[in-house]
Chain A
């Protein structure tokens, strides 16, 4: 398209594009300031400017090729946490499906002993996927379920234990302390576990995602994010602010309700989707 002068109106149009992504005020104003100071008065195309953001964001959001850090010996324990309804249980099914397809044996721990039919939900998944499941008796403490799941994993020589937890808002002090307890009880069996603590974030989440990431990380040292529900129209841009402010990388994305609706987080695809409206070409050339 035609080149344009970078002026106030141009910067304002930039804001309109950027804010729709949920990247958040501070991250966005930083980008806009940079364009304003470095490029004001120049004639450019919007696509050119977008390409420079895309290159930077792709670099910021880069991650390792194999995002799960497996234990050097013995079972790997993965704990999954997040706010209510984010997609934890479904993501566990997807992750189990992936790991199983890589030849790993898996034990699931039904650590949500609170929500109505949460155990039944995970039971159905474990049957569909053909993986082992440890559940607690009614009203059992989630820490004891997690403990028994890890124990089962060790005693059966399984490779990976994935522990589900009940949804909780990051402001609920007691429930956040309970999460820490679950982690501690896992450590009684394997001191360096859990090897991964994955925070599930709903892609439709706005700026509250930042407080989710920082509070959960404070309670249980999250190692990464699963960005669920990326199959809708929300782009999950708040993970950019989370990466900048909390340092948590995104590891996987959820793109549907079935076990195979799951992918490794790809920063290029993610960033392309953030600015899909602009129709600029891939960042590869930027």
Chain B
């Protein structure tokens, strides 16, 4: 794992071998490489700064272990600290019993992958013996309702929509009213993409949240997001009190530092990662794998 970084560190720490203790001075070049790696992975700058300070503090004064290459010793510490930062991991959807209706709400910026992720979760729930109902609450993007219907048909999952309706809050309320009748035990709300600085649309999302009281509100975040991840995640969390995050488009070569940024500002667990356009491309989030990826596996 993260061989490039490890190689760089091995040469940065060459002179350290057999020396007594780690100090800020003798680790400087090595730590600079770690910092570079995190920044190139798009971890938020203030978070990187804090992280480097914490890790340095922990490392300083530690004995250089005879049994290990000092670079391995430092990398081990950093890796473990990254894993800790992304934990505790909780992949559960916290579903109620089948006799009740659990409501899940997807929200996020435009194009992050909400509608596709609704389908992926619906598929997963159906496979586990649940009866999901997907709700087309995006009345904004052209053909958003059609998109959810196509996905529903592909999966054999019921989709609730009301093409005449202008207010998504009404659509969601109506869907919840009918959920039981339609035999559903989980309702997944597909909301429109919106910017966290769009007060009107954020207000609309809060109205859905207040009236439908979703048991779980998930922020769907594009895994390729850069430094802005902290801004949007913070705003969505303040508006909704998120319960989890889903990181999409992780099938490419993005290092995914947004995972740390988002976790840092919201404190909520990252539940899943999206790993493809197909509706089975959803995996549970693993902090250890993610840490490896961020360090440049």
Contacts and interface: CB of A to CB of B under 8 A. Distances in A.
B72 interface: no
Contacts of B143: 117-118, 120-121, 123-124
A16 interface: yes
B40 interface: yes
A233 B231 contact: yes
Interface in B108-162: 109-113, 115, 140-144, 146-151, 154
Interface stretch (B10-18, B91-99, B205-213, B219-227): B219-227
A121 B253 CA distance: 28
B253 A206 contact: no
B252 A171 contact: yes
A83 B231 CA distance: 22
Contacts of A24: 40
B271 interface: no
B141 A257 contact: yes
A19 B140 contact: no
Interface in B211-237: 222, 224-229, 231-232
A21 B227 contact: yes
Interface size range on A against B = 35 or more
Interface in B18-43: 36, 39-42
Nearest to B249: A84
Given A125-B142, A204-B109, A232-B109, A22 B254 contact: no
Contact of B142 (A83, A87, A121, A208): A121
Given A125-B142, A206-B227, A231 B195 contact: yes
B252 A83 contact: yes
B277 A115 contact: yes
Interface in A51-88: 83-87
Contact of B197 (A167, A204, A232): A232
A211 interface: yes
Contacts of A257: 110, 140-141
Interface in A169-219: 169-172, 202, 204-209, 211
B45 A16 contact: yes
A204 B249 CA distance: 14
A13 B6 CA distance: 28
Interface of B: 36, 39-42, 45-46, 49, 109-113, 115, 140-144, 146-151, 154, 195-197, 222, 224-229, 231-232, 249, 251-255, 257-258, 277
Given A21-B227, A83-B224, 16 more contacts: A16-B46, A19-B39, A25-B39, A114-B277, A121-B143, A121-B146, A121-B147, A128-B142, A204-B232, A206-B225, A206-B227, A208-B224, A211-B253, A232-B197, A232-B232, A257-B140
Interface of A: 15-16, 19-22, 24-25, 83-87, 114-118, 120-121, 123-125, 128, 167, 169-172, 202, 204-209, 211, 229, 231-234, 238, 257
28 contacts: A16-B45, A16-B49, A19-B45, A25-B36, A84-B113, A84-B277, A116-B154, A117-B144, A120-B147, A121-B143, A121-B146, A169-B249, A169-B252, A170-B253, A171-B252, A202-B111, A202-B224, A204-B225, A204-B228, A205-B224, A207-B41, A208-B42, A209-B226, A229-B111, A232-B197, A232-B228, A233-B196, A257-B141
